[in-house]
Chain A
Amino acid sequence: MLQPDMFQLMTAGDVSVRGCHEESPTGASEKQQKRRQSESEEGNPFSFSPQRLHLHRDHELFEDGDILRHMYLQDLYILEAEDKPTLSVSEFACHISGCSSVFSTLEEYEHHYNSLHRHVCCSCRRSLPNARLLDIHIQEWHDSLFTILAQRQDMYQCLVEGCGQKFRTTQHRKDHLIRIHKYPPDFRFDKTKKDKRTRETKTQQQKDAAMEVVDDVCESEGVCDVMCNVLSDQPEHEESMETHASEEEAARLAKSTEDLPAAAQGSDSTSSAPAKAQYSYRVPPAVCFGHGSVRGFRGRRGRRK
């Protein structure tokens, strides 16, 4: 049922969009009067109305063109094709906090987003590769009932869909995945060089502030988080996450903790080495299925009292 004056022209005059000046489309409202149903209903949040934009000469949209103009005035304008790309192009930048990935096509960006930022756990903001693993993660990490039940019965599900087996500990599950489902011992889930670097730096921070909650990382940790769930019986697996970031670093630290000549250790990482000495920094033989998650939060979890 079409009503004559459905369209709400409310926002036009006063809203300023990125410094533009917008006009109130007064004269044109008659044309927009043949409207769709339900737009004047209560609670309709849709407010799009076509608007002409006036851009002031100082507007940022005009920046590149102005630069072109002044390069010409200053006799710097050169026409060779290879110079064209110097004009800056805004790419798709991932807006997730902490993620600085940049893409030049929508599809690349979509793929990135879908791979890394979907299926995000509300509680700890980790990203899991799919809905099932997210469910498992929430269950194993954030469900106190699960924790209680896990003390008495086999609760840790096999991660392979359709397998259905359950295990008493994460270690058992890891073994199962390697032995039965042939997961490689050093299996990684989409780890990139950049993530590795980020993780390395975060690992440093981690060591400096042992038990603080570190800022969320954007990397997808995937299966790894589920796998390397910290339990009191497996404290070294928690370290497996952090040290996987940099095995050389872990080896170095392991060495330094063993030697422990306090004076000789000048680097900042060693300042917390004593504090961390209680953890074993050996490179674990166990499987780690994802990016290292480097959160002090996790460290805290591992220290079951």
Chain B
Amino acid sequence: MWRLNKVRYKAGRQGDSLEELRLKRREHERTLRQARRDRQLVSKRLLLNEDEEQQDITMDTTPGEQDVVSLVHKLQHSGPEKEANLKALSKALRDPSAQLTFVKLENSVHLLVGLLTSSNAQCRLQAVQCLHELSHSPHKNVAPACLPATSYLLTYLSGPSTKFSELCLYTLGNICPDSDAVKEKLLAQGIIPALATCMENQRHNLAVVEAVGFTLSQLLQTKDAAVKIIPMVLASTLPSNLLSVLTPDPKFGLAPAIECAWCLHYLTSSSKDNRELLCRGALVQCSSLLVSLGRAVAEGNKDEGLELLVCPVLRCVGNLLFSCPVEGLSTQVGDVHLVVALCGLVQAYLHTQPALAREAAWVLNNLTAHSSQFCSALLTLNLVPGLIQLLRFSQGINTMVSILRILANIAHKKQEFCIQLTQLGLLSVLCATLKMVDQEMVTLSLDVLFMLVVSSPQVAAEFVNQGGLSLLEAIQYNGEGDRRRRATYLLEQHLLSYRL
């Protein structure tokens, strides 16, 4: 993947020790987490030129602010070296303070807009490069300054030059989350139809597809997207095209699929009603992709950044399952390979990416909640022992709750399933989880225990053999509310004969 390769290269040459780098990353991660909690998690992308990829950008002795002023001056006076000046300007605008200086200069942006529409192709390219640098600015005031250019950028989206289109797209993607005014203007100028057309026309140009995906994902993450943007998107050809790109191209890499998958995630997670997407075969596509991803992960595929794609696809499947009518489940989801894939993902990511393991467990819950077929598959394919085992060593309460819910879904379907679960050792694990302090786990454990105990008298006897009575009595004594009532009910109604 060309972007990830760049990251490693950059990490290597900055002269920081690995430890410093790690510290920086951790600090950055903290910032991102806080931003997400504030609902302000926004990122911009900077497209680097090929020649720059080999250079150390940070060591570039950037011309100072004064040079920005003088360059603008030169450009305004129609010198002969427009291209060279523009190139110098775009380099200068890499610097955040230079960006501020630039937008404060009178008519500076209009200058760029003029150059953007000039007859000289190189000038146009450099002008858009300058705008792209501006769009990447960390200062909130800079992006709105680019507004005068946006209508032109939109018209150029489907141009013949890949590089040009990419720059236009990333520039638009960078500025749209910065302020509501910018977003409104872009919507009014028809950004959604423009993106749809671009995607439609450039479907085979994966670099452009990636850029469209990025820009769309930026729009979909904005605050009122569910009301203002998503209906428009759903009405366009974008969903179908997004879905068609999902399967990664082996040569180009995962990047376009990643962007499109995240778009689909924002679409499916913003609203509970995803029938539109279901009609277009979203669940079919996503679940078959998940099956192949699961296979790849299980085979130890070392594809870099695979989890960047697994994550949004998992979420799409999870949320689409919510909207999928139960009767149609097997046609949408295919056969039981999905169950295998999901269990594989839970196991594979348990220690390396625990969050993904949690998400996979959530999807399994949604899959098994109302389907005897998939519950039965878990048993038949001998996937349950692995899940039961996770309840002993799993990392994190959330994962444990999800896994126990899956087992509860199975127990809930049939008495035979309960007996099978007991034979696979669920009782002894319940004896452990009943001692936990997390209330949800204890309540859920009691619920599962109840289902098992009433399924057959042998289960009740087995539970008593394993010392279950004292556990329930402890809950009765120490527990509150729900837990105490459940323990009492079990002891008095179903285990009375064992209490001698």
Give the B-binding residues of A (Cβ under 8 A).
Answer: 21, 23, 25, 27-28, 31-32, 34, 36-39, 41, 43-59, 61-79, 81-84, 86-87, 89-92, 94-96, 104-107, 109-110, 113-114, 118, 120
Report yes or no: B437 in contact with A95, Cβ–Cβ below 8 A.
Answer: yes
Give the chain A neighbours of B486 by CB distance below 8 A.
45-46
Most buried by B among A63, A78, A109: A78
5 further A-B contacts with Cβ under 8 Å, apart from A23-B322, A52-B322, are A28-B369, A73-B43, A77-B4, A83-B22, A86-B29
Closest 10 CB pairs of A and B: A64-B355, A48-B447, A57-B269, A28-B370, A50-B369, A73-B43, A95-B437, A45-B485, A54-B322, A90-B396
Give the chain A neighbours of B454 by CB distance below 8 A.
36-39
Give the chain A neighbours of B85 by CB distance below 8 A.
none
When C-beta atoms are compared, the residue in chain B nearest to A17 turns out to be B440
Stretch at the interface among B187-195, B233-241, B313-321, B379-387: B313-321
Report yes or no: A107 in contact with B392, Cβ–Cβ below 8 A.
Answer: yes
Give the chain B neighbours of A90 by CB distance below 8 A.
395-398
Give the chain A neighbours of B11 by CB distance below 8 A.
78
Give the A-binding residues of B (Cβ under 8 A).
Answer: 3-4, 6-8, 10-11, 21-22, 25-26, 28-29, 32-33, 36, 39, 41, 43-46, 214, 221, 258, 262, 265-266, 269-270, 272, 304-305, 307-308, 311-312, 315, 318-319, 321-323, 325-327, 352-356, 358-359, 362, 365-366, 368-370, 372, 391-398, 405, 408-409, 412-415, 432-433, 435-438, 444, 446-448, 450-451, 454-455, 474, 478, 482, 485-486, 489, 493-494
Report yes or no: A27 in contact with B414, Cβ–Cβ below 8 A.
Answer: no
Report yes or no: B455 in contact with A36, Cβ–Cβ below 8 A.
Answer: yes
Report yes or no: A50 in contact with B409, Cβ–Cβ below 8 A.
Answer: yes
Report yes or no: A67 in contact with B397, Cβ–Cβ below 8 A.
Answer: no
When C-beta atoms are compared, the residue in chain B nearest to A29 turns out to be B370
**How near does chain B come to A46, taking the closest CB pair, in angstroms?**
5
Report yes or no: A106 in contact with B394, Cβ–Cβ below 8 A.
Answer: yes
Report yes or no: B413 in contact with A31, Cβ–Cβ below 8 A.
Answer: yes
Q: How far is the CA of A70 from the CA of B40 in the complex (A)?
A: 12
Take A34-B414, A67-B32, A79-B304 as given contacts and tell me if A27 and B326 are in contact as well, using a CB distance cutoff of 8 Å.
Answer: yes
Contact residue among B308, B315, B391 (Cβ-Cβ distance under 8 Å from A77) = B308
Give the chain B neighbours of A104 by CB distance below 8 A.
395
Give the chain B neighbours of A50 by CB distance below 8 A.
365, 368-370, 405, 408-409, 412
Report yes or no: A61 in contact with B447, Cβ–Cβ below 8 A.
Answer: no
Q: How far is the CA of A32 from the CA of B45 in the complex (A)?
A: 50
Take A57-B265, A63-B33, A76-B28 as given contacts and tell me if A25 and B437 are in contact as well, using a CB distance cutoff of 8 Å.
Answer: no
Give the chain A neighbours of B45 by CB distance below 8 A.
73-74
Take A61-B398, A69-B311 as given contacts and tell me if A84 and B352 are in contact as well, using a CB distance cutoff of 8 Å.
Answer: yes
Report yes or no: B36 in contact with A63, Cβ–Cβ below 8 A.
Answer: yes
Report yes or no: B365 in contact with A52, Cβ–Cβ below 8 A.
Answer: yes
Report yes or no: B3 in contact with A75, Cβ–Cβ below 8 A.
Answer: yes
Report yes or no: A25 in contact with B36, Cβ–Cβ below 8 A.
Answer: no
Q: How far is the CA of A58 from the CA of B432 in the complex (A)?
A: 33
**How near does chain A come to B368, taking the closest CB pair, in angstroms?**
7
